[in-house]
Chains A and B, each alone.
Chain A
Amino acid sequence: MSVTLQTEPFEPGALLTAFSAGRAETGAVASFTGLARAEQGGTDILELEAYPGLTDAEIARIALEAAGRFGLQDWLIVHRIGRIAPGEAIVFVATASAHRREAFEACDFLMDYLKSRAPFWKKSHGPDGARWIEPTDRDRTDVERWERP
């Protein structure tokens, strides 16, 4: 159970291998890897700013909520910060549970939260200059799915 914010690139396969190792009582590991998009040449570099100490604590708080809600045995979140090139992995989430449904749903829940409400500030640098990016309407409706009774 950990959140890591890092400026260095990471290798999703290696993270998944390490996360899956040594589990006798886990029936399911779900994972998600998000990559930075080039946006048809519109984005040369994505710059992601976090507030270390607040961003990681807030993500951990939501992950613990997810662990309770979905009955997770374990979870791992790794998020890049700083400057990220198209094609590079920007986020990795893995969840472990006894059965698959819980692992899938918790992974989906965590990604919806990370994409819409996590304390990051995102800037796109492209041929037309730099601009700050806000969550899309799709990001907002995705996260609201989890709030319905």
Chain B
Amino acid sequence: MARVLLFGRLADIAGWRERVVDGASLADIRTALSADPDLAEALSGKGVQVAVDKAIVRGEAALTATSEVAFMPPMSGG
């Protein structure tokens, strides 16, 4: 289980910014989110980064019940 956050255009595409999703790994979370094909495509797009508990991760990560997973599209600067 993880609290999933979407930023930027990802939230617009999904129609939500924060949701609790079942899963013990990032792969589980991606599978659960792929119920929305538009979101799945956007999440696999170029430059999308993932953070677990506010630290950017590359590849797989194990999650706990209190993990916060963020999907971040390319950063625009301020």
Query: A residues bordering B, Cβ < 8 Å?
Result: 34, 48-49, 51, 53-54, 57, 79, 90-91, 114-123, 132-135, 139
Query: B residues bordering A, Cβ < 8 Å?
Result: 5, 7-9, 51, 54-56, 70, 72-78
The 5 closest A-B pairs by CB, nearest first: A121-B8, A122-B76, A54-B54, A115-B77, A53-B54
What is the CA–CA distance of A135 and B72 in the complex, to the nearest angstrom?
Answer: 15
Given contacts A51-B51, A51-B54, A51-B72, contact A118 B77 (CB under 8 A): yes
Among candidates B7, B56, B75, residue contacting A117 with C-beta atoms closer than 8 Å: B75
What is the CA–CA distance of A91 and B56 in the complex, to the nearest angstrom?
Answer: 24
A-B Cβ contacts below 8 A, count: 57
Contacts of A34 in B (CB 8 A): 78
Contacts of A117 in B (CB 8 A): 75, 77
Among candidates A51, A90, A120, residue contacting B70 with C-beta atoms closer than 8 Å: A51
Cβ A118 vs Cβ B7 within 8 A: no
Give the shortest distance, in Å, between A81 (CB) and chain B (any CB): 9
Output the nearest chain A residue to B51 by Cβ-Cβ distance.
A54
Which residue, of B7, B8, B76, has the highest number of chain A Cβ atoms within 10 A?
A: B76
